[in-house]
Structure 1
């Protein structure tokens, strides 16, 4: 809530100079799949990305050092053309948020983009622009940084990430204009356009309400009342079921699963039988390939 109030304050009032940055992002560029290639360019690339994501001001919101969003960007480079500087590979994106009055952090995003392609020249500066597409690399970075911010803010306030989702729509439109893969609508079910659509299309955007009720009204209440917090989480999962009914292939469902399934297993292992039955029935219908993990919910902690 503090983040939301801060964001509104700085948007509505004055052009105050802010020095605190939003992210504490760990960046890694892994080139172990490549042989016989000068590795210095990947070290330079890693440093450039690290500086770009951790020093750019992404919003008007003010963050104290201990409020910075913890996240990770892991690039795995599969191919590299030294003559053109073109790199292709994957990007694993992860972010977490703290849970109120505890040392526990909850995963918000754990997503792998399998279609990363960009051109980079050693020593090339990465420049941020809000109005134009500077490069394919910065556009990809902009997309995932704003996604991290959008989901994080949604978890603290009802649809609190709206300004960031609006920015994401512009980024996707710019990416589509470039003609590069990864941005095109209906190109595949897990590209960047599909990720944005899963949070913003009228038929599936209720999943944003799930992030709020699950985290602020559920997890954040468990230190005070574990039963009350868990009950809210149990009720909030019905939103997941509603999204599944209208869009069973939505990437938003698999994103929630990849971020939350282990956490849900841990939460429900201590739940009453009726809550375990509800969660198991809902999740097993949506994620039939996860039966091994879901069985732990069905059995509970008393029957490991």
Structure 2
């Protein structure tokens, strides 16, 4: 309870302090048509302010440390103040001493239905489910912050990921899809549970190795950086022997497939025969991409 109360205090009184996220929010309602489009413009501005002006962690992020991310909400239906939608969430992380940013998350959430009244206050209460809109958006905010922190320190994002899991637990009382373990194994419930599960620990280890020991090193030693990125991918492949076609592997390659092809198709050569074999085994859906990697 003290943790939850301190979090509530942080979110309510932390507005305008040190924000962690630099998020571009887009609300697309072209499919709805013929309705009042102003409500969607208001929602877009309100969500942008909510995400970008909230101090989610109390850690005092500097302006250059803010995490670049995006949320694209595609509204396909409306009945009064009830909306049927999907949300595409992306986030990236800069490489050390470089202008390059690497995607850490690319998630397409198809179960995002919510209610919204124009100009309503967007307030997150971690102890009570009030709004699926706020719960989903806040869940992804903590997920992004946790995943980003994992790339700078081994399991550095645990506390933020645990908060995302607490949001799932509370949101299950609302009856909306995407929060329950009895649904598809690729929803918000499974994503955060798997991320924190011991079985999928190699995923979080791989995220740190790939970014901090891989991409961040390439600026000064490209060959060593590539070797460490290869080790990270082989580490991730450990999951395949236990959980083939896991959500964690899909999450990783949804964000990284094109980047991996680019990294290993140029620069100093390293032995990647075992890497390509692992890629085809763990992510066969991307086999056409792996075939383009130049040895």
TM-superposed CA distance for 1:215, in Å, is 0.4
State how 1:61-210 maps to structure 2 within 5 Å. Answer: 61-82=59-80, 85-210=81-206
Tell me whether 1:251 sits opposite 2:250 in the alignment. no
TM-score by length of 1: 0.89
**Partners of 2:222 and 2:268 within 8 A in 1:** no
| d(CA) in 1 for partners of 2:217, 2:227 | 10
| d(CA) in 2 for partners of 1:194, 1:119 | 24
State how 1:194-273 maps to structure 2 within 5 Å. Answer: 194-270=190-266
**Partners of 1:183 and 1:193 within 8 A in 2:** yes
TM-superposed CA distance for 1:124, in Å, is 1.1
| d(CA) in 2 for partners of 1:118, 1:100 | 39
State how 1:280-295 maps to structure 2 within 5 Å. Answer: 280-295=276-291
**Partners of 1:29 and 1:42 within 8 A in 2:** yes
CA RMSD of aligned residues (A): 2.0
Residue 273 of structure 2 aligns with which residue? 277
| d(CA) in 1 for partners of 2:125, 2:248 | 28
| d(CA) in 2 for partners of 1:191, 1:261 | 21
TM-superposed CA distance for 1:272, in Å, is 6.8
**Partners of 2:43 and 2:118 within 8 A in 1:** yes
Structure 1 pair 295/271, CA: closer, same or farther in 2 (3 Å)? farther
Deviates more, 1:144-153 or 1:286-295: 286-295
TM-superposed CA distance for 1:107, in Å, is 0.5
TM-superposed CA distance for 1:217, in Å, is 0.7
| d(CA) in 2 for partners of 1:196, 1:275 | 34
Tell me whether 1:57 sits opposite 2:59 in the alignment. no
| d(CA) in 2 for partners of 1:142, 1:214 | 26
TM-superposed CA distance for 1:186, in Å, is 3.6
TM-superposed CA distance for 1:236, in Å, is 1.3
Aligned residues: 284
TM-score by length of 2: 0.91
| d(CA) in 2 for partners of 1:264, 1:54 | 30
